[in-house]
Chain A
């Protein structure tokens, strides 16, 4: 027994509420308030994981977010997270934690043998070793062995993560003494304040370091200050990590919950940010400094005072700075046999009582296997120890400051990078600014908030003993004996850094990539500075000359669920809904997603034979009358004194000559001449048009119209209103369509003289106005009846009822696709691609005749646009009895002994009306090759087809008026 729980004490735990959880198959007891790490330490579990590459045993190093070793996969009923830090994850009953990178468990990992071969697999060995014959041959196996943590594919989130936006005057990151003081001062200046801290309770270092503030014990001051802030309506967020700073002082926070809820993502926009993020203790460099039982001195103190866990009985405290003295005294007072090994000889703090002090000595190695058993000093002294706690001084947590583009300045006295020139809107306080003594910490908080405004609150005062910041830098030395570990998580040793230098990876960014120093979940919080100091030493440069790697969000790993928030499942990419969707559902429609809408593909229910049903719908549509919900078609109004000029410019075809009450089919081109959309333009009156664009293009066409309106026509000339959702459009098509419409008695003449093809009329259905457009996408006489979307249901019901006598059929989009393909009517994006110009589709008139400007015009006359070899729109027929061609089938030709694509099939169906397959295609020089039989190939199968005109049904167009 070495580490143990003391019988009293522990400010963070509630001894009246015991808990138990499972770690690597064994039951661990603890108390509410414990982290997984504190409970494991209390249970004397030394090995909690295995290292990334060599599978070396790993013990707990820290007590917070800096933890490189104690990573666990957490399962269980409350909250499942892979690869989480045991030092920040609350322990709770029912939790199941598993060590990472260990099989079957951390204590008995079957891959531990890899460490014996470590000399053969140094940094970057795999870059060199697995190049022949092919890296990809080895990659799967290496990946299987490597990696940290496992995602449980069967785990389901209890719900979507919450995402909240907030605005405030001052956001303070870190609720230690500096952060609490800054928040208090900002609140006193009348500012709205948000204070965040990644610990479950505010207080930071005050939770375990001795201090007296304003004559009170630190704990009382913390409670008082936090209560004051909350009471005044300020937001105090615990268990919340500020993980990223973005433009305009947007700061992202991830809040963890202990009640089963997924984490919450906060996006806070603050006028001023105060960073009081503290500092992280560094390890000391000596051989085997990664053995379980070797940990941060500050963490040992935190476990003692917050969780009543004494990390050992015979403890060596090794340090190069003053901060470890308080630790040594506390451990000794708690009953441990403590030896303090101090690198410095002179200018030491007062000798710690109850502690054996060995000044001017250095640890050169630790010994042990699965846990530390002792250490050897530079003078050869051997000390037995069941725990070694070390402090290699402090690295200010500059991550967020650097993310905000803050520059660092090297402070030789503190042997650390500190924030340099100020960043607008951001100030720093506390240990981050280099302050050590509590009075300096409070001064820095006052300075950080001085620009916010005059505060009515008095700055807190340190009234107790003050910490001192004496330090003698202790960096790794090149050529040191043994394996001196720099990065515990990634198995990077001092020798690896030396190897990188020998191979000229001396840039700090190269060093990171070559050795993996500072990668993975901890991003080098304990190792980066040590590694680059060693590189500086090897290359004869100073630490600032080597510099740091780039700091990027996130500061700590953030669950992907936090980023996705509610926008998963149905909410991720929502489809638009038809006004009559529930009616179609009741009518046994089978729905598919088309162009961002949920629409009936066919009717008859999911149990029906879809192909047969679709064929039947298409056949019956030609025989009598079809009803179709076309509500998704665009209805974008263009109005104003220059509306006619505007549509002329937007369309390929001349539209200004259109008479009021008439419609015209036309193309819109992109600036490079490619057909962007097609559709009907309706002219309602002299200054008002309706653009009926394709369903899937409504948003893009609307944006395009608005863009050109603003860019070219200016204010007062023309305005665009998207009214697509205002009207439901119910289409009646087929030989009996006029009869059906007449029976509806819509109050207008349907005679061809009054309502010819490509004309509109206005009528009424009951109290509602309806607009009837005589346009056709089937080639049959058709009417599109538009009515207010929320009044469409009675009209649709009436159409259905009236249609019964005419053997009407309700058709879905799949049948409509057959009908339009029989006629050779295109669907943009299906029968065209990103190169199709209007003359490729046989529409050349405007190109040759129009003299005025329109979008895309100049691109229709380039060398590429007039090439003979362009793909042109055609129909294809196959020999009698053959099945339809597959869409996407390539037309092929032999050229120089090789096969070459001559184009491809864009649409292909069986036509129930013609009783044979039909196909549309884009074929090289197709327009001049009608009658030619070509070869086609699909999935290795060779077929033949004859090129025809696109229209396979009623080429004379008689049925439009039949």
Chain B
């Protein structure tokens, strides 16, 4: 039986993994609390104190606690510290599921971030979209800006794939800039 571990790159050590080419740096971001919230988002906002106005694709989020819209009545809530709200259904009309470990977060910065976006998605990053959920390098992801950085949330199982893809894209970006 062939060991297919040889076929696939080893999962990076996310604590130290980094992609760096001129104009672009990408790293993994650990420690964020993440929650999927569905239902009456105003009710959620009232209960949690977190704004129900989630950013859309490439929208700019600010602060330590914010939300990204992922569907008409669904948000990904991101917080630097755990929120004191129970997972599950709330009678006020919303449901909460913790996905802190389920979504890997990558952060990209630098002048070539737009070039990374141009390779990852057909969306016009200057036009934006109401939903931050989009296909990023072929993977379902939640993508927005936090400060001057781009944050990408992707299913943990596909994080290694996306990392390898971003390594390839970064090499292409560097070659294009050089060429």
Question: Is residue B45 within 8 Å, beta carbon to beta carbon, of the partner chain?
Answer: no
Most interface-central of A166, A269, A725 (chain B CB within 10 A): A725
Contacts of B171 in A (CB 8 A): 159
Q: Is the CB of B93 within 8 A of A639?
A: no
Contacts of B99 in A (CB 8 A): 721, 723, 725-726
Contacts of A257 in B (CB 8 A): 179
Q: Is the CB of A269 within 8 A of B124?
A: yes
Question: Is residue B149 within 8 Å, beta carbon to beta carbon, of the partner chain?
Answer: no
Question: Is residue A791 within 8 Å, beta carbon to beta carbon, of the partner chain?
Answer: yes
Per-residue contact bits, chain B 138-179, to A (CB 8 Å; 1 contact, 0 not): 100000000000000001111111001100110110011001
Q: Is the CB of A721 within 8 A of B95?
A: yes
Can you report 18 A-B residue pairs in the complex whose CB atoms are below 8 A from each other?
A165-B118, A166-B118, A269-B122, A566-B172, A574-B158, A576-B155, A577-B161, A590-B3, A598-B5, A601-B1, A640-B89, A641-B89, A685-B88, A688-B89, A721-B36, A723-B97, A725-B101, A790-B100
- Contacts A167-B127, A598-B4 given; indicate if A570 touches B101 (C-beta within 8 A): no
Contacts of B179 in A (CB 8 A): 257, 259, 261
- Contacts A257-B179, A259-B179, A571-B161 given; indicate if A684 touches B8 (C-beta within 8 A): no
Shortest CB distance A93–B (Å): 18
Q: Is the CB of A725 within 8 A of B157?
A: yes
- Contacts A269-B122, A688-B89 given; indicate if A791 touches B161 (C-beta within 8 A): no
Shortest CB distance B46–A (Å): 16
Pick from A166, A597, A716: contact of B39, CB under 8 Å = A716
Shortest CB distance A330–B (Å): 35
Contacts of B39 in A (CB 8 A): 640, 716, 719
Question: Is residue A585 within 8 Å, beta carbon to beta carbon, of the partner chain?
Answer: yes
Shortest CB distance B84–A (Å): 15
- Contacts A166-B118, A566-B168, A585-B10 given; indicate if A721 touches B176 (C-beta within 8 A): no
Contacts of A200 in B (CB 8 A): none
Question: Is residue A687 within 8 Å, beta carbon to beta carbon, of the partner chain?
Answer: yes
- Contacts A269-B122, A640-B89, A719-B39 given; indicate if A610 touches B1 (C-beta within 8 A): yes
Residue of B nearest to A581 (CB): B11
Q: Is the CB of B121 within 8 A of A165?
A: yes
Q: Is the CB of A726 within 8 A of B89?
A: no
Report A569-585 residues with CB < 8 Å from chain B CB: 570-571, 574-579, 581-582, 585
Give 6 closest A-B pairs by Cβ, nearest first.
Answer: A576-B157, A726-B102, A574-B161, A719-B38, A725-B102, A721-B97
Pick from B9, B100, B115, B123: contact of A726, CB under 8 Å = B100
Q: Is the CB of A789 within 8 A of B101?
A: yes
Question: Is residue A589 within 8 Å, beta carbon to beta carbon, of the partner chain?
Answer: yes
CA distance A393 to B164 in the complex (A): 53
Contacts of B73 in A (CB 8 A): 715, 719
Pick from A160, A582, A589, A592: contact of B10, CB under 8 Å = A582
Question: Is residue A724 within 8 Å, beta carbon to beta carbon, of the partner chain?
Answer: yes
Per-residue contact bits, chain B 4-22, to A (CB 8 Å; 1 contact, 0 not): 1101111100000000000
Q: Is the CB of A725 within 8 A of B156?
A: yes
Q: Is the CB of B103 within 8 A of A570?
A: no
Q: Is the CB of A591 within 8 A of B4?
A: yes
Shortest CB distance A98–B (Å): 27
Question: Is residue B119 within 8 Å, beta carbon to beta carbon, of the partner chain?
Answer: yes
Shortest CB distance A414–B (Å): 39
Report A774-790 residues with CB < 8 Å from chain B CB: 788-790
- Contacts A165-B121, A571-B161, A719-B38 given; indicate if A639 touches B95 (C-beta within 8 A): yes
CA distance A643 to B2 in the complex (A): 44
CA distance A749 to B73 in the complex (A): 39
Report A628-670 residues with CB < 8 Å from chain B CB: 637, 639-641, 643
Q: Is the CB of B122 within 8 A of A688?
A: no
Question: Is residue A228 within 8 Å, beta carbon to beta carbon, of the partner chain?
Answer: no
Residue of A nearest to B173 (CB): A162
New A-B contacts (4) at CB < 8 Å, excluding given A162-B172, A715-B73, A725-B157 = A261-B175, A577-B11, A602-B1, A637-B95
Q: Is the CB of A575 within 8 A of B138?
A: no
Residue of A nearest to B40 (CB): A716
Chain A residue total in the interface (Cβ 8 A):
61
- Contacts A162-B172, A570-B8, A719-B38 given; indicate if A592 touches B1 (C-beta within 8 A): yes
Q: Is the CB of A790 within 8 A of B101?
A: yes
Shortest CB distance A729–B (Å): 13
Most interface-central of B7, B8, B118, B157 (chain A CB within 10 A): B157
Contacts of A264 in B (CB 8 A): 176
- Contacts A570-B9, A575-B8, A640-B95 given; indicate if A788 touches B161 (C-beta within 8 A): no
Shortest CB distance A566–B (Å): 5
Residue of B nearest to A638 (CB): B95
Per-residue contact bits, chain A 250-269, to B (CB 8 Å; 1 contact, 0 not): 00000001010100100101
Q: Is the CB of A639 within 8 A of B119?
A: no
Per-residue contact bits, chain A 725-748, to B (CB 8 Å; 1 contact, 0 not): 111000000000000000000000
CA distance A160 to B172 in the complex (A): 9
Q: Is the CB of B8 within 8 A of A791?
A: no
Question: Is residue A210 within 8 Å, beta carbon to beta carbon, of the partner chain?
Answer: no
Contacts of A789 in B (CB 8 A): 101-102, 156
Contacts of B98 in A (CB 8 A): 723, 726
Report B82-138 residues with CB < 8 Å from chain A CB: 88-89, 93, 95, 97-103, 115, 118-119, 121-124, 126-127, 138
CA distance A716 to B74 in the complex (A): 12
Contacts of B100 in A (CB 8 A): 726, 788, 790
Pick from A160, A719, A726: contact of B95, CB under 8 Å = A719
Contacts of A610 in B (CB 8 A): 1
Shortest CB distance B23–A (Å): 15
Question: Is residue A103 within 8 Å, beta carbon to beta carbon, of the partner chain?
Answer: no
- Contacts A167-B124, A566-B169, A576-B158 given; indicate if A571 touches B164 (C-beta within 8 A): yes
Pick from B4, B102, B118: contact of A593, CB under 8 Å = B4
CA distance A567 to B164 in the complex (A): 11
Q: Is the CB of A577 within 8 A of B38?
A: no
Shortest CB distance B17–A (Å): 13
Shortest CB distance B42–A (Å): 13
Question: Is residue A942 within 8 Å, beta carbon to beta carbon, of the partner chain?
Answer: no
Report A539-589 residues with CB < 8 Å from chain B CB: 566-567, 570-571, 574-579, 581-582, 585, 589
Q: Is the CB of B161 within 8 A of A165?
A: no
Q: Is the CB of B118 within 8 A of A164?
A: yes
Most interface-central of A574, A788, A789 (chain B CB within 10 A): A574
CA distance A574 to B157 in the complex (A): 10
Contacts of A643 in B (CB 8 A): 89
Question: Is residue A606 within 8 Å, beta carbon to beta carbon, of the partner chain?
Answer: yes
Residue of B nearest to A250 (CB): B122
Pick from B40, B97, B101, B168: contact of A788, CB under 8 Å = B101
Question: Is residue A507 within 8 Å, beta carbon to beta carbon, of the partner chain?
Answer: no
Report A179-195 residues with CB < 8 Å from chain B CB: none
CA distance A593 to B179 in the complex (A): 39
CA distance A164 to B169 in the complex (A): 10
Pick from A578, A688, A721: contact of B38, CB under 8 Å = A721
Contacts of B138 in A (CB 8 A): 567
Shortest CB distance A407–B (Å): 29
Question: Is residue A696 within 8 Å, beta carbon to beta carbon, of the partner chain?
Answer: no
CA distance A589 to B6 in the complex (A): 12
Q: Is the CB of A162 within 8 A of B176?
A: yes
CA distance A74 to B118 in the complex (A): 31
Shortest CB distance A703–B (Å): 11
Contacts of A269 in B (CB 8 A): 122, 124
Contacts of B88 in A (CB 8 A): 639, 684-685, 687-688
Residue of A nearest to B165 (CB): A571
CA distance A790 to B101 in the complex (A): 6
Shortest CB distance B100–A (Å): 7
Shortest CB distance B170–A (Å): 11
Question: Is residue A163 within 8 Å, beta carbon to beta carbon, of the partner chain?
Answer: yes
Per-residue contact bits, chain B 43-58, to A (CB 8 Å; 1 contact, 0 not): 0000000000000000
Contacts of A688 in B (CB 8 A): 88-89, 95
CA distance A685 to B103 in the complex (A): 25
Q: Is the CB of B168 within 8 A of A160?
A: yes
